[in-house]
Amino acid sequence: MQLPLLLDLLLAALIVIGTGFALIGSYGLAKLSDFFKRLHGPTKASTLGVGCVLLASMLFFTLRPGATGVSLHELLITLFIFMTAPISAHLLVKAALALDPSARPAAPTERGE
């Protein structure tokens, strides 16, 4: 039994987009210059990439021939990642600013000053 062509194309697109975002996030983690810039790679792009791959997996195991129901394992993993990535990034920034207060940006000034 085969999947319909449209579903195959959708799954392939989600996997390619997801791996592309994960690759961009990994490259940003390796190549950006300082800690605060490097934090954006895994928290933004890689999270979106992993989410796309997990969505493709959830669709495949739910819509494949002979499937017995909705596959919720991937949905739970995606929700866990989307909830924990911003929180861990926030805590890492707070820890970095506590270790080096000079890294804190200057306060914004009012217009006209």
Residue 83 belongs to some domain of the structure: yes
User: Cα separation of 32 and 26, whole Å?
Assistant: 10
Residue 111 belongs to some domain of the structure: no
Q: Count the domains in the chain.
A: 1
Strand, helix or coil for residue 113: coil
Residue 66 belongs to some domain of the structure: yes
Structure tokens at 26: 């990994």
CB atoms within 10 A of CB 75: 15
Contact between 17 and 46 under an 8 Å Cβ cutoff? The reply is no
| pLDDT tens sequence across 1-23 | 688 899 999 999 999 999 999 99
Residue 51 belongs to some domain of the structure: yes
Residue 14 belongs to some domain of the structure: yes
Contact between 102 and 71 under an 8 Å Cβ cutoff? The reply is no
- What is residue 1's predicted lDDT score, i.e. its pLDDT? 65
User: Cα separation of 55 and 75, whole Å?
Assistant: 7
User: Cα separation of 34 and 102, whole Å?
Assistant: 14
Residue 106 belongs to some domain of the structure: no
| pLDDT tens sequence across 57-104 | 999 988 888 878 888 888 899 889 888 888 988 899 899 999 988 888
- What is residue 3's predicted lDDT score, i.e. its pLDDT? 82
Look up the domain containing 22 and give its range. 5-99
| pLDDT tens sequence across 23-66 | 998 888 888 888 888 888 778 888 889 999 999 999 998 888 88
Residue 109 belongs to some domain of the structure: no
Residue 108 belongs to some domain of the structure: no
